[in-house]
Amino acid sequence: MKTRLSDFVDFENVVANLSTFGIVVIDRRFNVVLWNRFMELNSNVRAENVLGKNLFDAFPELNRNWLEKKIRSCMILKAASFSSWEQRPYLFRFNASAVAAGEAEFMYQDASIFPVHDHKGEVQGVCIAVHDATRLVEVTGMLERTMDQALDLEESNRRDGLTGVFNRKFFDEQITQEIVNARRYNWPLTLAMIDVDHFKSINDTYGHSSGDEVLRRLAERLKSMVRSSDTLFRYGGEEFALILPHIALENASFLLNRLRKAIETMVVELEPAIQVSMTVSIGVAQLEDGLAPGQLVSRADEALYSSKRAGRNRVTCYVEADPDLPVADLPPPTTVT
């Protein structure tokens, strides 16, 4: 004779006394047939006070429209359904347990609803299984906060503390990647080096804190004028680098001259009685075949120094031509429109 586990185990008693997992069984009329220990402890409603009663009458705070549809669908289709705390935070509004809660205001729950059959295989009701997912929610939230903090730290490590634009370290990484992309997709790439003219005199005259304010305001103006695809960096001191993808040297020169003119008209008000204006010198170089990142930077720097030597407040493009004339000045900025 075959022995079944159910012959000597009182499953109903086992389920009723579970204190770590909620079990509710209701019949086809939504009357409560089983209300286990977990549900008693968390609802503060004893089983004898809810058994035989309509679930929705006993707990009017339940989302009846949603839950009733779930239950009817389960009985008709004879298929289980699942509700995650990510979709719906809870089924029953219980207080979070002191052990798992942390700062949670209520118990987050995963819930399963599956049909209950009689001995003939007919569906006579459903079982609602409730799992306390609060600890999982707390851990998930902690991991997300940690990830956000890590991303914030990574972002701050890429930024210049004074101006808020990207820093030299990130420039060294990004210029290499931009060159890789330009060669892979066969698009032009231009690099501009921008330096404040006579910046030392601003520091000497008004003090370093005033010089810092000038650099902050300059960075804001530069950011406001470049394209969304461009990337601005503080290269060092009063020098900035600007990576311009998808734009050839000639078009970049017009963009940079507009930028130069805008800076020329800037006035930085340090105090009501102190107003500082400035100009910048700009050197521009375009990526060529076989050119390494360091070589591209050197060409842009060389063009920048030519702008300085030619009188400052101008844009100069590097042109690979006669070795004796490696740099060619653009037409006077006022003639570029």
Q: Please count the residues of the chain.
A: 337
Distance CA 200, CA 207 (A): 10
For 27, counting Cβ atoms within 10 Å of its Cβ (0-12 exposed, 13-18 middle, 19+ buried), the class is middle
**101: DSSP letter:** -
Q: Which 3 state secondary structure label does DSSP give 25?
A: strand
**62: DSSP letter:** S
Q: Which 3 state secondary structure label does DSSP give 211?
A: helix
Specify which residues 22 forms β-bridges with.
130
From the CA atom positions of the chain, what is the Rg in Å?
35
Distance CA 284, CA 230 (A): 14
225 is written with which tokens?
Answer: 């004028």
DSSP 156-197: HHHB-TTT-SB-HHHHHHHHHHHHHHHHHHT--EEEEEEEET
The structure tokens 């921008």 sit at 194
Residues designated as active site:
238
Distance CA 195, CA 215 (A): 11
Q: Rounded to 5 degrees, what angle do the CA atoms 217, 223, 226 make?
A: 140
Residue type, 145: R
